[in-house]
Chains A and B, each alone.
Chain A
Amino acid sequence: MKHLRQGLIILGLILVGWLALPANASQAASNSDTFKVGMEAGYPPFNWTQTDASNGAVQIDGSSAYAGGYDVQMAKKVAHALGKKLVVVKTSWDGLAPALTSGKIDAIIAGMSPTAKRRKTIDFSDTYYASQLVIVVRKDSKYAQATKLSDFSGAKLTGQLNTYHYTALSQIKGAIKEPAMKDFPAMRVALESGTIDGYISEKPEGISVTGANPNMTMVEFKGAQGFKTKPEDTDLAIGLRKNDPDKLKINAALAQISQKERNQLMTAAVAQQPQAKSQGNWVVSLLKQYGGMLASGTGITLLISLVGTIVGFVIGLLVGIVRTIPRGGSAWRRGLLRFVDWLLSVYIEVFRGTPMIVQAAVVYYGAAQAFGWNMNRLAAALVIVSVNTGAYLAEIMRGGIIAVDSGQFEAAHALGMTHLQTMNKIILPQAIRNSLPAVTNEFVINIKDTSVLSVISVSELFFQGSTIAGQNFQFFHTYLIISAIYLILTFTITRILRWIERKMDGPQNYNLMANQNQVSNPKTSLTN
């Protein structure tokens, strides 16, 4: 359904593969009694996230939310046939293939098409749903009455990035090809706001969106008047690791499900998909419905940025201290210092010079694929943010240390203090104070930048927000609430750190100590 070209992730994996072993050294996520299935849980009616277990939804691994939809029902049937317990792992679209090949999941059931490109890295079962392409438009636009592709001449159209939907756009002569978009929620917002006239989608998604949003409709095409598509594009299949021993059993299970049953399941899924309850004040109803998800997202964001900043601060401090050790002493000592300094520069350059989203992909998926390390998602996030922050703060701390005038180093040395004592008692208190505004800055950046961790499916605030928006189609409202939460977080943090700064500065005035000395020696009167 969507073409596998996962940009940054692949770049990361190539890096790791090049550094380490051939990429086929993966292991099964579990040869035990569980069947781990990866899906976005944000692509209704195939899969979505909901807050309760109604309509046969399955709890998402490591979360209090549930996954429902056509894919979940299929996954249940397959797991039943395998005699295993179904575990749903919520994974972002770009993370699905790496998660499969690295053994973090056993199968992808996420509305994915078995394209030739994807077949190079993973295997597929037989088809479990066949679809067709449609164009979603606004009901009040002139394109709502279109019946053939040529009716869309002059329309501004788009499709999802890295999918055959977008490449199919070139079959419409005269259409204006807008840049591809990241996901369906983004295209729905664009359509509703009028920046595009329509987007290419598949029938189930079209049914969903027209059901949820009365302003939208979908244009279907009959036979030769529509898009020319290949079965490998329109068919949906279950993604499997190559040489999966369970493939035959899975195909046998799929063969048991008749076309009629599939259609019934799809109709049910479209009817069951979560709808926005929009009675009363929208803020109140949104918070009431999704308050739990927002709170847990806020908590995760705060946890990651707080731990990341504190650990990163400690890393930065240590690196800064080591990098400012005076060069002297024996040749051996100088050589060692130069080597350590070189290592630390490499660390700083690498982590400052690559995007955090790539680092996250390399650490989380790369480590699993190359070395078989199966890291906890949250732990990986904490490590990445800490190490990344450390690289930035190391230079800030070094600057803070250098900014203390060399006379104070000399005075401390002249008193007989060692380098460590000088740092500890004199230099670092001043360096830390000097760099606090920069640390505040880094904290604020961390709060916002944890959103890139959605690539490894850490359910922080932005990830939760996208999930909610994908469910209730209230994009503007949801993102407005999310941005308000971000603003409250960053504003509060900034104030707290400003207060700490003032605390460290101490009182602005001092008290003269009145005593006999002052009286007997007039020279000590205030001269400034």
Chain B
Amino acid sequence: MTDEILAVTHLEKSFGDHQVLKDINLQIRRGEVVTIIGSSGSGKSTLLRCINLLEQPTQGEITFHGENILAPKFDITTYRAKVGMVFQSFNLFNNLNVLQNCMVGQTTVLNRTPEAAREMALAQLEKVGMTPYVNAKPSQLSGGQKQRIGIARAVSMSPEVLLFDEPTSALDPEMVDDVLDSMRALAHTGLTMVLVTHEMAFARDISDHVVFMDQGVIAEEGSAEEIFTRPQKPRTQTFLKRYLQR
């Protein structure tokens, strides 16, 4: 597959005796939006965190453009600059204002000039509708605003892949739409995205590929159409039914 960016093969992860991920295999291709769904504790977030090495996999292989990112000599910081992450709890830098939050990675990691970084940051902040708040500190903003800045911060790094770890789970319902709108706009630009979410309607709407995880394994995967309208496995059907009843 020539346009494959990331490949996960036979990935295992244990915390002590507790095995969280078992034999995970997954490919992510350029321009694709991959959504991982599943109940809490099924290992979705752990898989995402293994992909950018916030967790060290116990076994298996992850390749980025064919290169093994678990090799001892692999340059992790350069890799992480290319694989962005948006966190459930935003994790904005509290000592910096909104604009600086979006600039600091560009100037320190990508060595962009402050002018270029500023221009990029302002452009991304505008896309998420946060331009008026460039001088604000994170503590002065609401959750939805913070998450849109989290997205702008990640996109400012011009990543090849952007990982979203339950980006709307910590938000009040009325703020969720702002964030989802920003993500939808991003997906339309052709950015490769891997998304862990409980927003089923949204996942169905934007995903090219959907992965259903249960108890540390990939129970079923397929196109959004296949998973959401004709799920094959009983576990997938039970899970989706519970969500649709809400």
Contacts and interface: CB of A to CB of B under 8 A. Distances in A.
**Do A and B associate with each other?**
yes
B95 A415 contact: no
Given A414-B52, A417-B77, A528-B141, A407 B105 contact: no
A112 to B, nearest CB: 60
B145 A527 contact: yes
Contact of B109 (A416, A426, A521): A416
A318 to B, nearest CB: 20
Nearest to A514: B132
Nearest to B105: A415
Interface string B182-204: 00000000000000000000000
Interface string A79-91: 0000000000000
Nearest to A424: B108
Interface size class of B (residues with CB under 8 A): 35 or more
A515 B91 contact: no
A528 B130 CA distance: 13
B63 interface: no
Contacts of A31: none
A450 B172 CA distance: 55
Interface string B97-109: 1000000110011
Contact of B93 (A426, A433, A512, A528): A426
A410 B54 contact: yes
B141 A411 contact: no
Given A416-B105, A417-B109, A430 B129 contact: no
Nearest to B125: A517
A527 B80 CA distance: 33
Most buried by B among A414, A511, A514, A521: A414
Given A426-B104, A510-B136, A510-B137, A411 B80 contact: no
A416 B93 contact: no
B70 to A, nearest CB: 14
Given A408-B94, A506-B137, A528-B145, A413 B105 contact: no
Nearest to A428: B95
A411 B126 CA distance: 21
A513 B131 CA distance: 7
Contact of A411 (B78, B92, B130, B136): B92
Interface stretch (B1-9, B17-25, B82-90, B209-217): B82-90
B82 to A, nearest CB: 8
A350 B179 CA distance: 53
B140 interface: yes
B219 interface: no
A410 B108 contact: no
A407 B140 CA distance: 18
A405 B95 CA distance: 12
A425 interface: yes
B40 interface: no
Given A411-B85, A412-B93, A517 B129 contact: yes
Most buried by A among B78, B82, B140: B140
A417 B129 contact: no
Contacts of B81: 415-416
A407 B87 contact: yes
Q: When A and B form their complex, which 5 residue pairs have the shortest distance between CB atoms, in order from nearest?
A: A416-B81, A415-B105, A407-B91, A411-B91, A528-B142
Given A414-B87, A421-B108, 5 more contacts: A416-B77, A416-B79, A425-B93, A514-B132, A524-B130
9 contacts: A407-B87, A410-B54, A414-B80, A416-B110, A417-B109, A421-B109, A517-B129, A517-B132, A524-B131
Interface of A: 328, 404-405, 407-408, 410-418, 421, 425-426, 429-430, 433, 506, 510-515, 517-518, 521, 523-524, 527-528
